[in-house]
Structure 1
């Protein structure tokens, strides 16, 4: 009996279903590949680190790294001239961190230190002999460097237990080896978390963590857990080490490897500690400089960029730094944390200290007799010792003080026996009338000499504008709008060796009142109050620190109370904060999420065929009307893509001939997540604190030039750097990638780095604009309250100098809010101050954007409010996650996208990308995918053909069987 054949119908159904399913799978895979194309392209993309141009650029960079470290190491103490050490000195180095130091920071400012010169190698290269037995004893402990990452922080201070490690045998061996002891201490910091002010807390640290790495926090070894201690002072184990070393050695040198100022008042209790060196993150080969400084081959010339208090918790800003909640009082008398309509906790931070940050408070308070300076301060701002001595004298009759400018010549003579460099610092003192807050002293100009041989001299010229001494009248004492003002009275100029120690009075002058109601010489638009709506009203600060009556209101500036709140899961906890009502929450909701109604009756022209190309607009002024012809060619899709697909690049726009560009992170190297994933990184330069500690603008410009040369060799155009937020306190986790507590020093450094980098045709993104001076709660859009005087004089000044003097072509806005408005959608900040006042021409990008495409991590980052208020580009991550949807039916939004497109196109047109930009037409993986697709489709089509043919043959066989 013949086997029954499957019917034609059933045969077709089965095989058509199978092949159709395969076709759906192929189509679905292609859709997924399309959406994730950016991720895949990034993953498979590499830069050529081994090209001749790249190798040459990195070799040149390594020379500059060492030059920066040579001048960026700060000699804080050198009793009995203990340094430099004699040639071929044998040394014992105590401290586990000597085996695993801090080269920089973590997060987006991190760099690859896998090929870095170790401190041991650096000292040995300088001819110092290390006690290998002691060194290996630390290595043999098996201690690992704790992780301080963006998503988790292990704050354990890695040192062996003193009672078990510092045995009589070990210490005797060390004494037999050498009578010189070096103590090496290190502290880390990084993006995502501020440094702990109490080293005791629950151990929630998971080194494996989630998909993005470690999570939680850990606070130390069990015997180091101490609620009374913070991260920037000696741990219990370190204290034990210090005691063991000083009991056995009388010639001790302390090396502090930290970008954050370290609490050093305890050193005064140990006469055995002769010398102190601060070495901020020195980058790839900067530890070679430590050896040269210790041995005397290099004479240290670094100066502090922050004032060192003996108690780091003492500065006024510390009263309002950290985690603060707005709370709602419920009808039953209980409290709950205030949240906005997207369930984002409403967190805040009050800059109640006003302008009195760092040395501005301590020098003023000392001048008023409000504090005993020597009891409070260990090292002033701008302080640093040398192995030689210098004499600074104002050149007779060189002071030229006109109505607009001041210049003075200073002769610097090396009166010692060793060649070296010196920093010349000029400060001014303005009259205090009680109407506008004034520091008793402000840095106004500085220069660094070249190397001066013993007995030789060099004359430097210091120059500044008279208007640089003006203060900002935020309270409208002299105008109805707010303005910069030179109040009438005596202005004094002083030549200082640091912020506290005067060398000479240069001169003084009685000035008449000047209200800059027509603008300063560098302003494109008159400066008036731009932040009144943001920083006044409910939720804002009622009392700012004032120097009136010797800072008598110092105790009043901390108005944060403690409340017991009920959380969403029903638990209770204590928080510091303030009570607000529902009206305040509604105001925040409105500002964050309400998009205003359209004001334009028609949409802009799109998709025109005007025959224009971006290369036609090289050098064309951004306000030239001819830009409209180019912009008219952009389609709606072009406008949306150009603005929303901004993660580490700008996209190619074929309609106007715009090439794609690569934007990589910093600020210590050409580096980003993609490079890290591929094991690639540019040269690791020293941290921004170390470059600022050089006080050498030529070196800062050289750093920018060499990073720019590397970027060019790698095909990178944009650089997410330099960063220039202010060291408001010592505990900000990201201080390592910011320059200083002083806006002038920060701005001058940033401007020099900017000029250097952009000289190679790229563009920088100066960041984080603005008031992003702590990490805690930043991604919640923390409401940052200050007054316009402090905002302008302290926190915006570095950015202003980087734009006006450095010519910065791009800006990165910050996560936080200025008052009640997200900085990335603050038109006063991004349009009025940045563009209209300072004359910035270029584009603004957000910080990391994750609000769209299935992600809602930062819902307050509203794309429509961003582009309407001057933020042009969204730093989106892995597409399609984080890429926002744009309401293209809104005429106002389309016009705003058009403005954003012009700003981006203008930046790219005036970069080297216009000559040899990247093309995103056919990445290799796309070519492979197309070939595979073609083969699969052909295979499926062939299968369909054979199914059809076989089913027809099967019909014939079935008919024959039925006939039989």
Structure 2
């Protein structure tokens, strides 16, 4: 009889209540105050509020697709304000909009059915990916609406939703504001004494129109804060929890200011090939170096109070640069938190450099008016190196390195000058990623951003000459050969129980596994053509709604248990309610995909002794909002929360965090990713991984590795990126996460990278990930990466094919998910092929290598009761930032 860890009680558990309270507090802290003339915080809890906008009642808790969370309830902003004691006086306007949306949705569903019939793709899949529902324009606000509202305070909520499988667009109702939204906000800014605009979005939208409207008193980026969004927004507006977020991205004055804008995704009518011609100049690196004025700069965010940041001292040696910084709340009314940001500007040399790069950061505790805190912020001297493709090495060129301290990328002072007297090669590598970029933009001859006092600050800053003669060059060793494990005993069949008992080694077990057994082990749980085309997110019948699991075909004779995987990264995505018969057999229904819910069997077919189970999970703030906290302790606490729910429901691997770079604001999945900055991204992913992996036997799966920066044609898009841009921008965050938190797993991405599918790239998955970075976990594909995806995307002519199952094994992509019999058969054939026969040949040792990686993680996982926290088995690895409060 199957055993389920789900709860049998429908009532809200103590843990669920506690987690909602934790998320409520952390979400409010993440919110970013963009503008405020003093109207916020609202000083009175109660009274009338005029509430408008598509996000007021239809508040977006997070994005769509596998990043969604099936939480018990969603508390919208209307409800949150009412809970705080306010009386919403514009319900008739909100009701009217609900009717407009209902009518639009009815028409949408009819069109969806027609499209499904013509394409052969299920309506559920179409709605989740290529053709999500797009809300219509809001109705115009009338004088009658204002007169009936009986208040001098209006709040307008702009909501936007995006998701997996489809990029956003620079059009009205998406990146741009609808015409009616602009007219409405202009109107209420004139009619109400207090006008507050809230941005309920997963990422950047155009703020040009908003900033042109006189009479807006405050703008707050509230993001998508999970299922308690409304409560957290009310707390932030009232100052119950002081919003202390800072932007994790540059918000441009105009979308076309982004260097990738003209060719991004379908902007140039080509989603087969994406040329990263901006090179390393992503986000603030571009805006600062090319002196393009943003609407809001990277790291920007106001507070309800004011702070003074004073650098007390800077010291440096060949190991660490250390800054002692005093932060004082100089306000006299409100408490708050401040973020100290440290940037460096490297000297011009043979290697082109951006104007500045983030080096380190730290967030204060909650400081009362007049209170101070001294922060000691440290980072590695060698982290200021640049990658030279010419020398295939990380190099610090001789010259002056300016150290800048402040609270946003465009509000810093030069506080120190670190002088390096000679070129220093930090580490020698091989160039692993040949690209065919036609060109990369250059900053030569460009005048970067500057400010009036910069030259004076350079002259007066503390100068430190660092002796680097004792720094040795690290030389990377690439292990091209893999060992082969020979069966030493035919007396009996080895099992995983023998390994657990210490009677044999894991290698002994692998040596005895047949090719067929290993092929099955390296392919996920799905088998059979019909099953291969079932909906994503309903793969496991042990944890219903989980995304998938490793095979159970070896459980009876080899005693190899299977690991359960659940989607993320805004929490676990599971079926909230499922039913079994008295014998534990799962009954159909209960699956949830966005707004589609497959109902359980009718009451007539469900016996009285059927068992009901519940898996209500907490929806976290989306990654883009969590990152805005700039608080690694807060993000680690979010991981701890998810870890507890994983143990509660029996999940081994969380398919999160997502950590691709925000190269362009229109990427449909940016809400799942953290930032435009690689250091910041890596630290966020490391923090949440540490939070999860402090629990025994469970872990994270960092994804999507790598250069997965668009959603249109994501299975077959080819990202053309230079070696330097990859290493400094798109791979650096993953490197930091691996070296500082050693996640249990890595998920390769769908896309090709310089002509090779990432799942088939030995250079990416073995040479870089394991040989250079020391990764110890397993690598899995994204779902259906090796399959024909017509059932997901429709039949189309494609420039590039899907990735290959045998080449996954050759590359060190250990586990193919969710897999199918086709994958198993192809792997077996590839091992037995004679040289020259067919296209692909893989060796026995390559298959053994992947099998060993999977078994090693299973052995350390929660499949066993004596599992230990995974991170402790590898220890903390030193990197980049240490902060002492």
Bin for the TM-score computed over the shorter chain: 0.7 to 0.9
Taking structure 1 as reference, are residues 607 and 173 closer, same or farther at Cα in structure 2, changes over 3 Å only? Answer: farther
Q: Could you say which residue in structure 2 is the equivalent of 1:930?
A: none
Residue of structure 1 in register with 2:169 after alignment: 196
Look up the match of 1:424: 340
Structure 1 residue aligned with 2:289: 364
Query: Residue 645 of structure 1 aligns with which residue?
Result: 524
Q: Is the 8 A contact 1:71 1:302 kept in 2?
A: yes
- Residues 323 and 777 of structure 1 are in contact (CA less than 8 Å); yes or no, is this contact kept in structure 2? no
Deviations 1:648-673 (A, max 9, x none): 11124345432112111111111157
3-state SS of paired residue (1:460): strand
Residue 400 of structure 2 corresponds to which residue in structure 1? 490
* 1:273 corresponds to which of 201, 208, 216: 216
Q: Distance in 2 between matches of 1:600 and 1:763?
A: 26
User: Are 2:251 and 1:321 equivalent residues in the alignment?
Assistant: no
Match of 1:546 among 442, 447, 472: 442
Q: Which residue of 2 aligns with 1:311?
A: 254
Q: Match for 1:629 among 503, 508, 531? A: 508
Contact 2:338 2:407 in 1 (8 A): no
Matched, 1:787 2:729: no
1:119 & 1:606 partners in 2: Cα distance? Answer: 66
Q: Which residue of 1 aligns with 2:863?
A: 913
Provide the rounded CA distance (Å) in 1 between the counterparts of 2:230 and 2:3. Answer: 32
- Where 2:405 maps in the other structure, the secondary structure is strand
**1:277 and 1:912, CA in 2 relative to 1: closer, same or farther beyond 3 A?**
same
Aligned residue for 2:189? 246
Q: Secondary structure at the match of 2:248?
A: coil
Q: Distance in 1 between matches of 2:646 and 2:510?
A: 29
Give the distance between the partners of 2:633 and 2:378, measured in 1 at CA: 16
Q: Relative to 1, partners in 2 of residues 1:646 and 1:548: Cα closer, same or farther, differing over 3 Å? A: farther
- 2-structure distance, mates of 1:500, 1:680: 45
Q: State the match for 1:528 in structure 2.
A: 430
1:178 aligned residue: 151
Q: Cα deviations across residues 192-232 of structure 1 (Å, max 9, x unaligned)?
A: 000123x4xxxxxxxxxxxxxxxxxxxxxxxxxxxxx5721
1:768 CA drift (Å)? 0.2
SS where residue 196 of structure 2 aligns?
Answer: strand
**2:587 match:** none
Equivalence map 1:399-478=2 (5 Å): 399-416=314-331, 417-433=333-349, 435-474=350-389, 476=390
Matched residue SS, 1:531: coil
Which residue number corresponds to residue 121 of structure 1? Answer: 79
Residue aligning to 2:468: none
* Stretch deviating more after TM superposition (437-446 or 668-677): 668-677
Residues 278, 324 of structure 1: alpha-carbon distance in 2 compared, 3 angstrom cutoff: closer
1:862 match:
804
Does residue 778 (structure 1) correspond to residue 714 (structure 2)? The answer is yes
Q: CA deviation at 1:138?
A: 3.7
Are residues 52 and 83 of structure 1, via their aligned partners in 2, closer, same or farther at CA, if it must alter by over 3 Å? Answer: closer
Please give the per-residue CA displacement for 1:86-133, whole angstroms capped at 9, x wherever unaligned: 332421011133111110001111112451212112112223332154
Deviations 1:876-912 (A, max 9, x none): 26x5577663214148343222111100011111222
Q: Match for 2:129 among 151, 155, 162?
A: 151
Provide the residue aligned with 2:832 in structure 1: 889
Structure 2 distance, partners of 1:54, 1:719, is 23
Instruction: Answer yes or no: is the 8 Å Cα contact 1:250–1:273 preserved in 2.
Output: no
The counterpart of 2:661, out of the listed 704, 726, 731, is 726
**How far apart, CA to CA, are the structure 1 residues paired with 2:32 and 2:851?**
46
Query: Which structure has the larger Rg?
Result: 1
SS in structure 2 at match of 1:875:
coil
CA–CA separation in structure 1 for the residues paired with 2:352 and 2:632: 30
Q: State the distance in 2 between where 1:238 and 1:601 align.
A: 64
**Do the aligned residues in 2 keep the contact of 1:306 with 1:741 (CA within 8 Å)?**
yes
Q: Are positions 1:742 and 2:700 aligned together?
A: no
Shift of 1:437: 2.4
Counterpart CA distance in 2 for 1:619 and 1:767 is 34
Alignment of 1:28-67 (within 5 A): 47-50=5-8, 55-67=13-25
- The separation in 1 between residues aligned to 2:519 and 2:636, in whole angstroms, is 36
Q: What residue in structure 1 maps to residue 138 of structure 2?
A: 160
Q: 5+ residue gaps in structure 2? A: 109-125, 449-480, 527-547, 576-589, 593-597, 601-613, 793-799, 834-840, 868-885
1:436-465 C-alpha deviation (Å, 9 max, x unpaired): 221111111111111111111111121110
Whether the 8 Å contact between 1:823 and 1:829 is mirrored in structure 2 is yes
1:874 aligned to 2:816?
A: yes
The answer on whether the counterparts of 1:853 and 1:880 sit within 8 Å (CA) in structure 2 is no
- 8 Å contact from structure 2 (residues 485, 510) kept in 1: no
TM-score, length of structure 2 as denominator length: 0.79
SS at match of 2:219: strand
Give 3-state SS (helix, strand or coil) of 1:773's partner.
coil
- What is aligned with 1:15? none
Check if 1:354 corresponds to 2:289: no
| 1:169 and 2:169 are equivalent in the alignment | no
CA contact (8 A) 1:853 1:884 kept: no
Q: Give the Å deviation of 1:758.
A: 1.2
The alpha carbon displacement at 1:82 in A equals: 4.5
**Counterpart-to-counterpart distance in 2, 1:352 and 1:485:** 23
Which protein is richer in helix relative to its size?
A: 1
2:520–2:824 contact (8 Å) kept in structure 1: no
CA offset at residue 135 of structure 1? 5.3
Structure 1 residue 357 displacement after superposition:
0.6
Distance in 2 separating the partners of 1:734 and 1:855 = 21
Which shifted more, 268-277 or 808-817?
Answer: 268-277
Q: Which residue of 2 aligns with 1:237?
A: 180
Aligned length: 742
Instruction: Give yes or no for contact 1:89–1:129 (8 Å, CA) kept in 2.
Output: yes
Q: Deviations over 1:776-830 (max 9, x none)?
A: 12112x1111111110111111111110001112100000011110000111110
Q: Distance in 2 between matches of 1:609 and 1:777?
A: 52
CA contact (8 A) 2:523 2:550 kept: no
Paired with 1:758 and 1:618, the residues of 2 have a C-alpha distance of: 21
Conserved in 2, the CA contact under 8 Å of 1:171 and 1:248?
A: yes
Structure 1 residues 694-773: aligned runs within 5 Å? 694-760=629-695, 761-773=697-709
**Is the CA contact (8 Å cut-off) linking 1:54 and 1:714 kept in structure 2?**
no
Cα deviation, residue 324, structure 1? 8.4
C-alpha distance in 2, partners of 1:610/1:915?
26
1:309 and 1:696 map into 2 onto residues whose CA distance is 24
Structure 1 unaligned spans of 5+:
1-40, 200-228, 327-336, 338-345, 520-525, 553-598, 918-964
Distance 1:600 1:446, change over 3 A: closer
Give the superposition deviation at 1:56: 4.1
Other-structure match for 2:569: 667
Residues 324/313 of structure 1: CA separation in 2 closer, same or farther (3 Å cut): closer
Contact 2:252-2:295 within 8 A present in 1 as well? yes
Report the CA distance shift for 1:600/1:541 in structure 2 as closer, same or farther (over 3 A): closer
Secondary structure of 2:865's counterpart equals helix
Distance in 1 separating the partners of 2:494 and 2:398: 55
- RMSD, aligned CA: 3.1
Counterpart in 2 of 1:506?
415
Q: Distance in 2 between matches of 1:362 and 1:601?
A: 49
- Separation in structure 2 between the aligned mates of residue 840 and residue 601 of structure 1, nearest angstrom: 18
Query: Which residue pairs with 2:537 in the alignment?
Result: none
Question: TM-score under structure 1 normalisation?
Answer: 0.72
| SS of alignment partner, residue 84 of structure 1 | coil
